[in-house]
Structure 1
């Protein structure tokens, strides 16, 4: 069966702005705070952009119905809410951060089922997605369960009665995870995934999730997989220069190397 999300999502495309900044997979947490420094740089005007697009897994643990996860991310949420009153922000749900609409009232949160977000730029249709779609029925079942209000309510009650042992266990797992791993045969993996999507009207597909920082042509489109900000603090900005790649890669450092 062909995946129809692309057909549904680009009926009323948004506009991707020159100078827009894209950040994927920052996995921000108390033990990984470089995104907070980056957001402060945006807030102070040290870095400027008319549009911020967060490509999912921006926070390592942020689950809307689980209040304890807010405590991990209070500062980041406060800055995003402040920034959202001055610049346009899109936040694509990832598999580490979801059901956040109430936490970010002035941010356009794009839920997984509404991805890709399709935007127009220079006469082209640019599709943006976290990237954890078409991953097989097992993953689809898992991701549906973890977003279920009933399942989350039960987990929240168990976690509360158990003095937070579920969230504490998740924290230990997140700290162990490496975000800089290379995936063998990555292009072939993406080619298999995208064979189930309608891509006829898409010119460029940009995803995160896999952390590979690779660009290639596939199924007649340009496919871009962004680097993880959590790995070497890389982010991307939309270039307005003709005959140049769509995205310019930069590295953020709070202090010079």
Structure 2
């Protein structure tokens, strides 16, 4: 975990799970262009910003080059924090990320602070089952990615086709998300409490699960960010009664 807290400023922007791909899910270019014209601020990109972007997988970089150039321009004006997800990882060394504060999976949750209250930020794919941990290690394995590069003309189209179909299914509204959100959020808070000494009035902010809701449980505020690829809206930090509020743009 990042030990020196990042101060979250009022007006900071949060984006999670846009699952952008220049070939079929172009959600970010217009937003990034808009933000290039806005005043300087913090931007927290909470993982799965791209649907498939892996640093050593060269074709994934080439296919998203235009959006990556926009992101690089943004990083020259704004302060950008990028938390890798399970669709976009091993990006720290790519040229476009020179001015971006990048947090791999093993550095999450990222410790932040808002109005002297702790805030723990993560893409969300942490503190899960042991077999998910194994899966996370496998997909980041350099030999697997080398294999993908060698056979990219065959494997890469299959990956993008699979992800495109998966994205279409995710956009369909799932009524059980809202119905079960309180139970889900309580379980997530308990997972964090098992791993970290989290004090009362702290915040946990995650994407990944596409929940779009917030609750207080055991005096801890849980914020589940919604699926940007569906809503196409980002969230702006505001302060109300000394509390962090994420207001839809």
TM-score (norm 1): 0.86
* CA–CA separation in structure 2 for the residues paired with 1:34 and 1:13: 30
| Residues 1:224 and 2:217 aligned together | no
Give the helix-richer structure, 1 or 2: 2
* CA–CA separation in structure 2 for the residues paired with 1:234 and 1:167: 29
| Residues 1:51 and 2:51 aligned together | no
Query: Residue 20 of structure 1 aligns with which residue?
Result: 12
Query: Residue 186 of structure 2 aligns with which residue?
Result: 191
- Change over 3 Å in CA distance of 1:34–1:196 after alignment to 2: closer
SS of the equivalent of 1:168 reads: helix
Q: CA RMSD in A?
A: 1.8
CA drift of 1:118 comes to: 1.4
Query: Residue 253 of structure 1 aligns with which residue?
Result: none
* CA–CA separation in structure 2 for the residues paired with 1:60 and 1:48: 28
Is the Cα contact below 8 Å between 2:40 and 2:77 reproduced in 1? Answer: no
| Residues 1:152 and 2:152 aligned together | no
Is the Cα contact below 8 Å between 1:21 and 1:49 reproduced in 2? Answer: no
CA drift of 1:135 comes to: 2.0
Which residue, 100, 105, 113 being the options, matches 1:107? 100
Query: Can you give the 5+ residue segments of structure 1 that lack an aligned partner in the other structure?
Result: 1-7, 251-257
Deviations for 1:124-170, whole angstroms, at most 9, x for unmatched residues? 1111110011221111101101111122222322x24xxx2211111
* CA–CA separation in structure 1 for the residues paired with 2:35 and 2:53: 21
* CA–CA separation in structure 2 for the residues paired with 1:245 and 1:193: 19
CA drift of 1:199 comes to: 4.6
Is the Cα contact below 8 Å between 1:19 and 1:49 reproduced in 2? Answer: no
SS of the equivalent of 1:195 reads: helix
SS of the equivalent of 1:84 reads: helix
Query: Residue 201 of structure 1 aligns with which residue?
Result: 199
TM-score (norm 2): 0.88
| Residues 1:88 and 2:79 aligned together | yes
| Residues 1:172 and 2:193 aligned together | no
Query: Can you give the 5+ residue segments of structure 2 that lack an aligned partner in the other structure?
Result: none
* CA–CA separation in structure 1 for the residues paired with 2:218 and 2:170: 27
Which residue, 32, 37, 62 being the options, matches 1:39? 32
CA drift of 1:86 comes to: 1.5
* CA–CA separation in structure 2 for the residues paired with 1:193 and 1:50: 29
Deviations for 1:52-79, whole angstroms, at most 9, x for unmatched residues? 1100000011011100101221111101
Aligned residues: 236
